[in-house]
């Protein structure tokens, strides 16, 4: 995933503030499992904003990503703040932390960067590594996303563009059935399609501050 690896050398592409949804999800986990610290996996952690948050919240933070530069950035961020986490450069299809069981896991804006077979494998890995009652929160792009269908369709609903900052990165777009198929082994706690309607937009995709239509899922 060379594209993301290079993006993490450019400040413009490094998200700094954590998503409020991730903070709130950790609070949900804390209610379910009252004994801190919890073990929580940030799958496809990128430059580390949520792994840092987990550590700041006093939990055992685990972060994995295919981008070595993302993991290096995360480690520096932790070190600069006297925080700790277990990090690994790993593809989403790998079990990055074998033998570790998690109270929760999340993957924000990342799992759709693959073909559906590999996304299924990544979700299966999380399933196998959660405690009973553990939860997984995911955000995934929707087939209704305004950025949909850029590039060449390499399988149903998976596209690869040859242009721009995401050249070469696959995007799998999910409809409701696609989400239900992905999580067919799981109990769905929350399935939400957050819709954005772009009336006018004259700003480059890479610096657009607004979201596209996405699925937010807790299973
Ligand atoms: C939009 S970024 C999101 C990063 C992070 N979750 C966040 O919210 O800041 C997408 C991330 O997915 C990672 N990624 C893409 N394909 C991957 C793969 N096959 N295995 C693991 N990580 C991957 C990229 O390296 C990048 O860090």
Name the residue ranges covered by the structural domains of the chain. Answer: 2-8+35-218
Tell me how far the alpha carbon of residue 116 lies from the centroid of ligand 1, in angstroms.
15
pLDDT of amino acid 167:
82
Mutational pocket test of ligand 1: of 7, 25, 46, 138, the residue with most ligand atoms within 8 Å of the beta carbon = 46
Shortest CA distance to 43 belongs to which of 131, 142, 109, 99?
109
Q: What is the pLDDT of residue 81?
A: 97
Residue 208: per-residue pLDDT: 81
Query: Which residues, 6+ apart, have CB-to-CB distance to 201 below 8 Å?
Result: 146, 208
At residue 162, the pLDDT reads 82
Task: Report the side by side order of strands in the sheet with 152-155.
Answer: 152-155, 158-160, 170-172
Ligand 1 closest atom vs CA 43:
6
Full-model pTM: 0.94
Considering the four listed CATH numbers 3.40.50.150, 3.90.650.10, 3.40.50.2300, 2.120.10.70, the one that applies to the domain covering 2-8+35-218 is: 3.40.50.150
> Positive or negative, the Cα torsion across 216, 71, 163, 10?
positive
pLDDT value, residue 186: 98
Cβ of residue 166 lying under 6 Å from some atom of ligand 1: no
- One digit per residue, pLDDT tens: the chain, 219 residues? 557 677 777 766 667 899 999 999 999 999 999 999 999 999 999 999 999 999 999 999 999 999 999 999 999 999 999 999 999 999 999 999 999 999 999 999 999 999 999 999 999 999 999 999 999 999 999 999 866 467 889 999 999 988 777 788 899 999 999 999 999 999 999 999 999 998 988 887 777 888 889 999 999
Ligand 1 centroid to Cα of residue 22, in Å, is 15
């Amino acid at each position: 995933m060379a594209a993301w690896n290079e993006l993490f050398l450019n400040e413009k592409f490094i998200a700094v503030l954590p998503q409020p949804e991730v903070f709130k999800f950790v609070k949900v986990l804390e209610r379910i499992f009252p004994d801190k610290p919890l073990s929580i996996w940030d799958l496809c952690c990128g430059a580390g904003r949520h792994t840092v948050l987990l550590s700041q919240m006093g939990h055992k933070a685990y972060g994995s990503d295919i981008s070595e530069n993302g993991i290096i950035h995360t480690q520096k961020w932790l070190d600069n703040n006297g925080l700790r986490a277990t990090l690994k450069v790993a593809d989403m299809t790998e079990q990055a932390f074998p033998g570790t069981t998690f109270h929760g896991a999340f993957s924000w804006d990342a799992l759709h960067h693959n073909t559906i077979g590999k996304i299924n494998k990544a979700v299966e890995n999380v399933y196998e590594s959660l405690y009973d009652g553990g939860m997984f929160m995911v955000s995934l792009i929707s087939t209704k996303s305004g950025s949909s269908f850029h590039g060449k369709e390499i399988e149903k609903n998976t596209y690869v563009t040859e242009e721009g900052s995401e050249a070469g990165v696959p995007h799998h777009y999910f409809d409701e059935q696609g989400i239900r198929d992905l999580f067919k082994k799981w109990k769905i706690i929350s399935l939400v399609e957050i819709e954005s309607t772009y009336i006018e937009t004259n700003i480059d995709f890479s610096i657009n501050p607004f979201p596209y239509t996405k699925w937010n899922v807790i299973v």
